Chain A
Amino acid sequence: MADDESQTAATDITETEKVATSNGKPTMAVKIYAPFQVYFEGEARSLSAVNATGPFDILPHHHNFLCMLVPGVITVQTLDGSKDIKVNRALMHVKSDKVSVFVDV
């Protein structure tokens, strides 16, 4: 039983170590795209957007999340600055430090 617990703990540690970092700061993979256009694809430190509830931020280690965005601007804090992307209609999916924003769906 004790062995099982230690094995689980070891697995958790390994999984935690898999999290992407840049200069010691955690990052996440972000892809913002429409059927024919990729607006942004790469590592990012955070992402800010607006949905029907209001403005919100997504940071690394965010819980699984699914929401529709209202027309507005998505701000991506990249490793070397920030990028603003204007969207009209979009769906955001967050899972395991991977953020996908499907624009124009």
Chain B
Amino acid sequence: MRRPLEIKAQEAGARSVVSLTSALESISSMQIAKTKNKVLISNQFFDEVWNIYKQIRVDVMFNYGRSIDETPLDKELLILITAKGGLSGDIDNRLIRKFMEHYDENKNDVLVIGHHGTTKLKQAHVDYTYYFDLPEHDYVNVDPLMDITRKYAKSRIYYQNYISLSQQEIKDVDLSEVVSSKGRVADMATVSDDMVTEKTYIFEPNSYAVAAYLENSILRLTISQFIYDSRLAQVASRFKAMSAAKERSIANAASLHMEYNRAKRSQVDTRLKESMAGLKKLRAGGAQ
């Protein structure tokens, strides 16, 4: 059996881990509330822009705002939105696993957002072509990313989606498809008075320029929305991981405390036994 002092020192370490994980859990909890609120606010904004886009768009195929003479690369760009660093639970591992199911070195180029993703890709022996830091501020400038997506015929985005505090899922969507499907409502059968047309609206400088601008805006907003969603899912995953770590450290500290008590008791018992034995010896010696 280990010495009580040794166990006591280990228990103190375990108690520090409890404090640390509790603090990280609280921080994650605050971040969730803040991020969730921001996602809700931004969703209202996105919905209104989407609504205008639905009413104006005329082309069923979304073409990333490319002009007709631009020939895209015949490869699919895979975009991975991962966490900034560790302490985000297993969410990035799950994302990489899903990505690996689809990844083909000859057919895909990889763009990573978030440093943790690059570490995970290195572990999986996958080279990435582009890298961006995960934006921390509210305003996300996705223009450099859009310039890259425009070069490719197809782009697929892997992101983390928040369902609840205890549940986050990994999703992958074709960027062009997601924009097309959201705007598909505006087909000829559903044309109403709300439709934004040249008959009902004044466009400046002209309807084509506004439609092209909106197409770019929609792509920008779609990517931004995926980044915001991922950020929320990541903080939720971190909260889940910290809660689990806290539970584990509490159990560990309690177990060490019990082990310490047992060792202490055992030590006392041993000393008592030794004293008794000594006393017996003394008594026996006195009798002689």
Chain A residues in the interface with B (C-beta under 8 A): 33-37, 51-53, 56, 63-68, 91, 93, 100, 102, 104-105
Interface core residue of A52, A65, A66 (most chain B CB under 10 Å): A66
List of B residues within 8 angstroms of A100 by Cβ: 48
Distance from B217 Cβ to chain A, minimum over Cβ atoms (Å): 4
What are the residues of chain A within 8 A of B46 when measuring CB–CB? 35
Partner of B200, one of A34, A64, A67, A93: A64
Q: A-facing mask of B197-219, CB < 8 A → 1, else 0?
A: 00011111100011001100100
Q: Which of B14-59 contact A (CB under 8 A)?
A: 38, 41-42, 45-46, 48-49, 52, 56
Contact B209 A105 (CB under 8 A): no
**Is the Cβ of B41 less than 8 Å from the Cβ of A53?**
no
Nearest chain B CB to A69 CB, angstrom units = 10
Nearest to A52 among chain B residues (CB) is B205
**Residues of B contacting A: mostly:** helix
In contact, A91 and B202 (Cβ under 8 angstroms) = no
Does B264 lie at the interface of the complex (its beta carbon under 8 Å from any beta carbon of A)? no
A63 to B198 CA separation, bound complex (whole angstroms): 12
> Is B241's CB within 8 Å of the partner chain A?
no
Complex formed: what's the CA distance from A100 to B38 in Å?
Answer: 20
Q: For the complex, would chain A's binding face be called helix, strand, loop or mixed by DSSP majority?
A: strand
Q: How large is the interface on B (under 10, 10 to 19, 20 to 34, 35 or more residues)?
A: 20 to 34
Known: A51-B204, A66-B204, A91-B52. 9 other contacts (CB 8 A): A35-B41, A35-B45, A36-B38, A64-B196, A64-B200, A66-B201, A67-B204, A91-B49, A105-B220
A105:B217 contact, CB within 8 angstroms: yes
Candidates A36, A37, A52, A105; contact of B204 at CB < 8 Å: A52
Q: Nearest 5 CB-CB pairs, A to B?
A: A67-B204, A35-B42, A105-B217, A36-B138, A64-B201
The reply on B160 being an interface residue by CB < 8 A is: no
CB within 8 Å for A105 and B201 given contacts A36-B38, A36-B138, A66-B210: no
Contacts of B203 in A (CB 8 A): 65-67
Question: Taking A67-B210, A105-B221 as contacts, is the C-beta distance between A33 and B45 under 8 angstroms?
Answer: yes
Contacts of A51 in B (CB 8 A): 204-205
Contacts of A64 in B (CB 8 A): 196, 200-202
